[in-house]
Chains A and B, each alone.
Chain A
Amino acid sequence: MTATDPAKPAPLPLDPAIAPPGTRNFRDAGGLPADRWHADQNGETLVPTHCCFCGVQCGMYLRVDHGGKVFGVEPRNHDINRMRMCPKGLNAYQQVNHPDRLTAPLMRRSRDEEFREASWDEALDFTVSEIRRIQSTYGNDAFGLLGGASLFSEKTYLVGKFARVALKTRHVDYNGRLCMVSAAGANKLAFGIDRAGNPFSDILLTDCLLIAGSNIGECFPVMTQYLWGARDRGATLIVIDPRETAIARTADIHVALRPGTDSAFFNSLLHVIVAEGLTDESYLAAHATGWDEVKKTVADYPPARAAEICGIPAEQITQVARVFATAGNAMAWHARGIEHHSQGVENCLTVINLCTATGNLGRPGAGYGTITGQGNGQGGREHGQKSDLLPGGRSITNPEHRAQICRIWGIEESELPGAGTSMMEMVWQMQRKEIRGLIGICNNPFVSLPNYAVVKAGYDTAEFHAQFDFFLSETAANAHVVFPVTTWAEDEGVMANAEARVVKHNKAQEPPAGVRTDTWVLCELARRLGAGHHFDFPGSREVFEELRIASAGTVNDYYGITYDRLDATGGIAWPCPTTDHPGTPRLFEDGRTYHPDGKIHMQVVEWHPPMDAYTEEFPLSLTTGRTVAHFLSGNQTRRLGALVEQTPRPWVEVHPCHGFHNGDPVRVITRRGNEVFPALVTEAIRPDTVFIPYHWPVPTAANALTIDALDPRSKIPEYKVCAARIESAERVDDVPAPPMPPGHQAYKEAQASRTDPLPPTSPQGRGTAERS
């Protein structure tokens, strides 16, 4: 009780109006003060571009006022999204003129000091002197570079070239390592080409659609229209997911299997299909190798055994197998749910085996695809920022490929470093002082890498760390130098979406004063490192011209794609070898893959349990994922008022059988740490599984709990399953404010509900009337 004297109650305010919840709430001005919103008074320009967020790459118009500032968004009838947009895309434009933007380089000589604003020259010179110091003392490979897959393809190309030509280090990798590499590895092994086989529009033509490990309704909301469109035309929808997500809720069949058992499930499907004679033997004979071995392996996965492993009824396996194999045209799409595993590549291979064995490849409505999570998840892995790849998807260990690239870049082959290590391995190397300096561009590993304690220790051990970003991320806040760079709307460039369709992003406004493009910063660093003649790029356009040439003749052929063609067409799918080539929306139409023998190389997969062992102490599976209002590490979306209002904080999703009530503080404990989240009690999750969305930093970070076990082939971390237990706790851990430079505070209106006591009422967030 308050200490107020009961004899003197507080006087009633003059206007003591009450209104029911949800009717009086306008605190959703979207992160900009309501006063600054102005309906169009002086005319406007609509700049056609695409969304900066996920791999669907919806078209949108940015509304630009007469002062040249982006102030709004308008739906665009691009054939990827047909004017549809998701809440992230609708609010994306607010990043552009956001008060939290970094507008001057930040610098400090040691982590004990506070950041101070520095001039560009000072920050660049300091960075270059640190690079020189570390490389001359410990060797070139002691300095690493980490890129990102939300960068334009031009910039990802530059990241790879900068590492190999300017830094001359083999240690370069990117955050697609946390995202797409399992699918990439599987695609390469099976097809010799790394991309989805079919365009989204093929989904509308299918008779049976299987979605494995993808919460499409939340992670790729706009793609849902293709799912619903297929169902309107009579297709059957099968969803494989431990949670009953928005698409699983209404699916014809929802297989709620135990996390980490996907390959057993898919092997068993194939077992049933073989047993019931539903395979397409003529297709297999003509187009596949390795079928006999696969057939032999799946014989060991009868439904009864798989049902035991997966924790589902055996009949469901038979049912899915029959529906998929007997459909005229069947299609399978998957995402992180089956890829984020210590056998991520193998999980994808089992899906490929399923499609191949039923002859569902390379036809309208029949095929296979993987849904990229980041905007440029596809393009970002193609042109050389991956530790083992060179532009055009070339291998850095292939002498022929090395020679080709050295010719294009004008360097000696002996100067080109060898293959590096993956992102998580680089963090371990930092911990071991094998890597002593690091530049990070467009990533936020403090939130996105697993096992936060290890990540923090690794970065803290590094002697020098510079980070590029437009908001101060949790990772950047731990760096020595932070370079303020442009948002996607302040530069032009291309991205390749989940269909491998290359789309053009256009520049809508000039960057704020003090902000430079990533291209400018990389080229400037290269110049100061003495490699300026290799980095004479005034902008993205010139980089793209070099990228076209560097990819010409490879599988990932961009040569026929030009900015002009992209503007005229709205997107071209690679391979596109000549400027009159229409692009390749659908692969394998002639039955040939990109292996020299033209065959699908089917691979044998044996299921093994997840790396984090279940014990009596840790009996549950913890799985992580995304929520619709936030994107990846949340550095962008946790600053946009409307999205914070929708989902202010993470939660732990638990089944009612654990005896908690909604909002109860629940401690989630794994072998790596424990944190307290409010409970979201729902029957839409398996009783043996708990779920936490991962967009928030410690002490509310799912990734403080996840395991840093890697897939041996793709080196993807096993985010999607680790052993855990839950117990009740005193109070939930608060979400920290997004980092800001000293003397600044994260924009208050946008953060209003961050510490709100009302947690999400559903995985999609809080209903509009469930906010304070």
Chain B
Amino acid sequence: MMGRTIFIDPGRCIGCQACVSACRECDSHRGKSMIHLDYSDPGQSVASLPTVCMHCEDPVAPCAEVCPADAILVTADGVVQQADTTRCIGCANCVNACPFGVPKIDLQAKLQMKCNLCYDRTAYGLAPMCATVCPTGALFYGTLEELQAERPGVQVADSFAFGDVVVSTGVAMVVPADKVQWPVPGGLPVVEVNGVDVR
């Protein structure tokens, strides 16, 4: 299933945003960072979560499916590209349809932009900029075997549960061994807020 891809381990993330700065150095979109870094536990801890494009495999690239201009292409190796500049009309369908909250949009340029797994680097055998510099290995690029060689015993999961819907992705999350058979919870739908059922 998984070839050479990014593995995300929020447990190792120190929230330093090196990935955010590194993304900006990438030649195909210099000056613009595609990665998201969120502090997911505000007020409680300094926990953080880096988000790169998950490169959805099933359903394949919802962002591309909802695109009215056929602007988002998928390579044979499963990499969901950012919008084709000649086609994208900047409607933001992809921005809001993505269950992971990945695509960004340049409103002035009427252009969607998103992580394309550093296609300009991976195509030449280099690791993506974010995973290259990540000081902690919270973002790791390689094969599952390479990951496990460095971190004995780690397991990964490449599907997410959103209620009854399961989305499987090209990018995987590191999970403890006892959680590997279940999809990673996607956080949605929200079932309760402050103990009140909001379904």
Contact = CB atoms under 8 A, between A and B. Distances in A.
A adjacent to B, CB under 8 Å: yes
Contacts of A629: 17
Nearest to B35: A768
Given A28-B32, A682-B44, A769 B38 contact: yes
Contact of A764 (B11, B15, B28, B134): B15
Interface stretch (B67-75, B99-107, B158-166, B182-190): B99-107
B31 A29 contact: yes
Given A73-B25, A769-B38, A628 B17 contact: yes
B140 to A, nearest CB: 11
B104 A40 contact: no
B48 A646 contact: no
A662 interface: yes
Contact of A87 (B13, B20, B96, B137): B20
B42 to A, nearest CB: 6
Interface in B77-128: 90, 92, 95-96, 101, 103-107
B16 to A, nearest CB: 5
Contact of A75 (B13, B92, B132): B132
B21 A91 contact: yes
A684 B12 CA distance: 17
Contacts of A246: 13-16, 46, 48
B105 A681 contact: no
A90 B133 contact: yes
A84 B134 contact: yes
Interface string A476-491: 0000000000000000
B27 A32 contact: no
Interface residues of B, number: 51
Given A86-B135, A642-B24, A762-B39, A221 B47 contact: no
A72 interface: yes
B43 interface: yes
A32 B32 CA distance: 12
A298 to B, nearest CB: 34
A728 B30 CA distance: 43
Contacts of A15: 107
A473 to B, nearest CB: 23
Contacts of A72: 25, 30
B38 A85 contact: no
Contacts of A23: 92, 95, 101, 103-105
Contacts of B32: 26, 28-29, 34
A770 B36 CA distance: 10
Interface stretch (A108-116, A224-232, A324-332, A553-561): A224-232
A371 to B, nearest CB: 14
Nearest to A223: B135
Interface centre among A19, A233, A765, A768 (most CB of B within 10 A): A768
Interface centre among A23, A681, A764, A770 (most CB of B within 10 A): A23
Nearest to A81: B135
Nearest to B127: A83
Contact of B135 (A84, A232, A769): A84
Mostly, the A contact residues are: loop
B135 A225 contact: yes
A224 B133 CA distance: 12
Contacts of A762: 15, 39, 42, 46, 48
A684 B44 contact: yes
Contacts of A228: 12, 136-137
A683 B43 CA distance: 6
B197 interface: no
Contact of B22 (A19, A90, A223): A90
A59 to B, nearest CB: 12
A85 B133 contact: yes
B150 interface: yes
Contact of B44 (A28, A90, A225, A683): A683
A24 interface: yes
Contact of A20 (B11, B12, B16, B95): B95
A662 B39 CA distance: 14
A232 B95 CA distance: 36
A568 interface: no
A250 B11 contact: yes
Contacts of B105: 19, 23-24
A628 to B, nearest CB: 5
A224 B136 contact: yes
Nearest to B109: A26
B100 to A, nearest CB: 12
Contacts of B14: 217-218, 221, 224, 246-247, 628, 764
Nearest to A640: B21
B96 A20 contact: yes
A83 B121 CA distance: 15
Interface in A674-699: 681-684
A767 B95 contact: no
A682 B30 CA distance: 35
A248 to B, nearest CB: 9
A85 B13 CA distance: 14
A656 interface: yes
Interface centre among A40, A83, A767 (most CB of B within 10 A): A767
Contacts of A683: 43-45
Given A23-B104, A768-B37, A768-B38, A244 B25 contact: no
Contacts of B46: 244-246, 249, 682, 684, 762-764
B151 interface: yes
B144 interface: no
A646 B20 contact: yes
Nearest to A647: B17
Contacts of A8: none
Contacts of A74: 25
A22 to B, nearest CB: 7
B155 interface: no
Contact of A225 (B22, B31, B136): B136
Nearest to B22: A90
A232 B44 CA distance: 26
A39 B15 contact: no
A429 interface: no
Contacts of A221: 14, 16, 18, 135-136
Nearest to B37: A768
A38 interface: yes
Given A90-B22, A642-B24, A682-B44, A37 B12 contact: no
Contacts of A217: 14-16, 136
B89 to A, nearest CB: 11
A17 B107 CA distance: 7
A715 B26 CA distance: 45
Interface string A231-263: 011000000000011110110000000000000
Given A23-B95, A764-B15, A85 B135 contact: yes
B152 interface: yes
A222 interface: yes
A25 interface: yes
Contacts of B103: 23
A86 B16 CA distance: 7
Given A19-B95, A39-B30, A764 B132 contact: no
A642 B21 CA distance: 7
Interface string A148-192: 000000000000000000000000000000000000000000000
Interface string B140-158: 0000000000111000000
Interface of B: 11-18, 20-22, 24-25, 27-28, 30-33, 35-39, 42-48, 90, 92, 95-96, 101, 103-107, 129, 132-137, 150-152
23 contacts: A17-B107, A28-B32, A29-B24, A29-B31, A37-B30, A37-B31, A72-B30, A84-B18, A87-B16, A90-B22, A90-B133, A91-B21, A629-B17, A642-B20, A642-B24, A646-B20, A682-B45, A684-B44, A761-B42, A762-B48, A764-B48, A768-B17, A769-B36
Given A26-B33, A221-B18, 4 more contacts: A25-B104, A84-B135, A224-B14, A768-B37
5 smallest A-B Cβ distances: which pairs?
A: A217-B14, A246-B14, A762-B39, A764-B15, A39-B27
